[in-house]
Amino acid sequence: MINREDILSMEYLKKTEFTGCNGGMRYRLEGVKDAEDKKVLRCTIWPEPFNFFTTPDDQKESAEFSFDEDGVQDAVRWMNGKLFEKKDVFDTASRKWDSYQ
């Protein structure tokens, strides 16, 4: 389970993206502009073992939240929901090391 304390501060997120992993799921939080040019917090998840740039886009799932403390907490809840919803995917993710080309 991911806890709010696992994610660095809003001051950090204002400057750069944050990545982490838990239970076979990797995640990335970053500030981006939405369609209305408003800054939002995008949270992307994908199965291990590869990094954000190596993993194919069709294996990633993203959601956007408000770019504030409430948004970070919402992102943590969303990630924990996905961690349990896709438990089978994340539990077997580490077996894919040999699929790297």
Residues 6+ apart with CB under 8 A from 23: 1, 83, 90, 91
Convert the pLDDT of each residue in 46-92 to its tens digit.
Answer: 999 999 999 999 999 999 999 999 999 999 999 999 999 999 999 99
Q: Is the pLDDT of residue 101 over 70?
A: no
**CB-based contact 24:94 (threshold 8 Å):** yes
pTM over 0.85, yes/no: yes
